[in-house]
Structure 1
Amino acid sequence: MEETHLEDSHHYGDSLFPKSTLIPVTIVCLLLFLVGVTGNTMTILIIQRFKDMKTTTNLYLSSMAVSDLLIFLSLPFDLYRLWKYMPWVFGEVVCRLSHYINEGCTYATILHITALSIERYLAICFPLKAKVVVTKQRVKYIILALWAFALLSATPMLVLVGVEYENDTHPDYNMSQCKHTAYAVKSGLMRTMIWVSTAYFFCPMFCLVFLYGSIGRKLWRSKNDLHGPNALSRERSHKQTVKILAVVVLAFAVCWLPFHIGRNLFTHVDDYHTAKLSQNFNVASMVLFYLSASINPVLYNLMSRKYRAAARRLFYPHHRRHPTGQRQLSGRDDVTTCDETLTGV
């Protein structure tokens, strides 16, 4: 989370915010932490434990769950800085690593969402080609490449942030802060990183809109081609799929746009009112940031029968399943069915 030091920050004691802001934000973040850690851990266990859940789509979801779990490692430090702006008591290494992991995992999650959307596009619009091109082995290599590229993109954060003191001439531990360094701001490296971060939002966003728009058109045009006894149920599934895809794009925009607006405001702070606006954006974007890391398992539970059935198997391994349920949990990839697309949210 970006920080902006306001002249009247001492009015709130050790924090830049009043307790009327700190308490509800902390409660919401702790709830998101509980939901996110539990849900993402459950997602990893479900996909790793059950063979029928190890589809190419779910390999992306499992890797995304790991990324979202790592993101929550930074939450305690963000809450600490909310309540106590100075001093920073965790040292230089934790300051740099927490920002680096946060940034790297953010990029990894965005890249996973984009790659997953491309895979869904191929599976729905070109199902025969997708069966040949999209294999589990290739997806594993792609996931490794996504992680490598994301972590490499985040390496400037190791230079951008550090522990700094209010008085550089006579450093005082009680006045230490984990923040963007003066060197980063003066050298222009900060602005470069802002451009990289912004590209990581708008490029995937345009990609998602194009891909899901194409998927929507494909499903809409193919509805008249559905024949047979299951035509009605397949048409209903296709309509549901379009709705879910719209939710994906909307959730992505809502969770990430304030984060990038706040960052851009931070680089243009030149007066009190702009600084105040930047701080308010930073708090709101922090909450939405952690919401984005916790919302996926909730969406899976709400929208995928297959995921809910697997979750029941995880918690009740000896529960006797109905034959219909066994049929729904078949190991095929379901590249054109609604269930697999819902699992890919």
Structure 2
Amino acid sequence: MVSNDLQPTLPFLLRPDMDSFSNYSYFQNDTDYYEEPSFSLFDIHVLVPVTIISSIMFFLGITGNLLTLLIFKRYKEMRTTVNMYLSSMALSDILIFLGLPSDLYRIWKYKPYIFGDFLCKFLFYLSETCTYCTILHITTLSVERYFAICFPLKAKTTITKCRVKRIILSLWVWALLTASPILFLFGVEHRNGSLPDEAKECNYIERSARTGLLETMTWVSTIYFFLPVLCLTLLYGLICGKLWRTRHKLRGPQAASREKYHKQTVKMLAVVVLAFVLCWLPFHIGRILFAQTTTILYDITQYFNLIAMLLFYLGASINPILYNVMSQKYRKATSKILNYSQVWQSRNLTRSERTSFQGTEVSSVM
């Protein structure tokens, strides 16, 4: 059970997505409350399993996404425009996991925050940036697939690797810019007149919240989620309609192969999008609850947001697993990289033999 004495500070413990939706007016009105010496938000029987699950996801997320980057870099046949977006998303997911140790520290001991103001601001900013970036990648990739399937001739000339690289760079720049107000909204400060050494919190800054920046970022992050979900629903509806109408019109082995590729790609991306929505939707539900909640519901919303935090990191770690399940090419490439006997054998080959072996290895990915 969450301690009632700590309720006013609970909403600001979790990720910035949920932090910005906390009941700010309630915090202002309740300035005299007793603080437990432990400063832990949850009981030990909750903290231990959450920490174990988070550690497992940290390991799977880092290794899985690094493996994705390695596969797309090593095999030329895997360097398609689709995989360029997916590899950039993998980098974003790796960066998201940099904030997990700080989140675990804050649920075990939310104050004093010992890592300094810079790290507090940077981790919040990095998390928000990567969240926006992942959403932008999924949406842009879906738009590309829509043009590739519905307007194949035009897409063939417009969707090039060079252009996709520029688009990916612009997505990162836009995400960095739109998340930049987080740097002014969060930081380390002490609250309620207590001694600084006792009550340093990595939290929103009260004077910044009073300017309306808190509400502004609330709207920005909400639009970043629900508007792309609406666009994704429309795009995949149009794509499925196009594939259904042309299922009997295509003739010849090349046309059939192209249709099969499109269907497989759409299926994989649809599963990725579905996982993204299911894993990240609880964050936004939690924001709404925090905006409308009363003190009676604080215990419920905190446990809900703890689950939402786990789902958030699950969303950052599950994509490599989905690629393995949905893509035969990815499975083959993964099995070759993880085949230690081949790696050991390649070390004993001469330089010329090793080059020949790797050439055969690459050609067999498809």
Q: TM-score, normalised by structure 1?
A: 0.85
Give the gaps of 5 or more residues in structure 1: 330-345
Amino acid at match of 1:77: S
Distance in 1, Cα, partners of 2:258 & 2:144: 20
Look up the SS of the partner of 1:163 in the other structure: strand
Deviates most, 38-47 or 10-19: 10-19
Distance in 1, Cα, partners of 2:165 & 2:261: 29
- Of residues 4, 24, 41 in structure 1, which corresponds to 2:49? 24
1:280 matches 2:318: no
Q: Where does residue 211 of structure 1 map in the other structure?
A: 235
Distance in 2, Cα, partners of 1:154 & 1:173: 29
CA contact (8 A) 1:12 1:18 kept: no
Look up the SS of the partner of 2:40 in the other structure: coil
CA contact (8 A) 2:333 2:365 kept: no
1:128 matches 2:153: yes
Q: Where does residue 200 of structure 2 map in the other structure?
A: 176
Q: Where does residue 174 of structure 2 map in the other structure?
A: 149
Distance in 2, Cα, partners of 1:214 & 1:248: 18
CA change 1:183–1:193 in 2 (3 A) is same
Distance in 1, Cα, partners of 2:362 & 2:72: 18
Which one has a bigger Cα radius of gyration? 2
Look up the SS of the partner of 1:225 in the other structure: coil
CA contact (8 A) 1:194 1:264 kept: no
CA change 1:232–1:268 in 2 (3 A) is same
CA contact (8 A) 1:9 1:16 kept: no
Shift of 1:13: 3.4
- Of residues 64, 67, 80 in structure 2, which corresponds to 1:39? 64
Q: TM-score, normalised by structure 2?
A: 0.80
Shift of 1:252: 2.1
- Of residues 279, 289, 295 in structure 1, which corresponds to 2:318? 295
Q: 1:193-230 deviations in whole A, cap 9, x for unaligned? A: 01000010011101110111111111111112244579
Distance in 2, Cα, partners of 1:313 & 1:324: 8
1:309 matches 2:327: no
CA contact (8 A) 1:212 1:245 kept: no
Distance in 2, Cα, partners of 1:251 & 1:209: 14
CA contact (8 A) 2:149 2:262 kept: no
Distance in 2, Cα, partners of 1:234 & 1:140: 24
Shift of 1:21: 1.9
CA contact (8 A) 2:272 2:319 kept: no
Give the gaps of 5 or more residues in structure 2: 1-14, 346-356
Distance in 2, Cα, partners of 1:194 & 1:36: 27
Shift of 1:19: 1.9
Shift of 1:251: 1.4
1:187 matches 2:190: no
CA change 1:21–1:86 in 2 (3 A) is same
Mapping 1:1-345, distance limit 5 Å: 1=15, 2=18, 13-168=38-193, 171-227=195-251, 243-269=267-293, 271-316=294-339, 326=363, 329=366
Q: 1:101-148 deviations in whole A, cap 9, x for unaligned? A: 010011111101111111111112222211100000100100110000
Deviates most, 276-285 or 207-216: 276-285
Look up the SS of the partner of 1:138 in the other structure: helix
Q: 1:134-166 deviations in whole A, cap 9, x for unaligned? A: 000100100110000001011111011111213
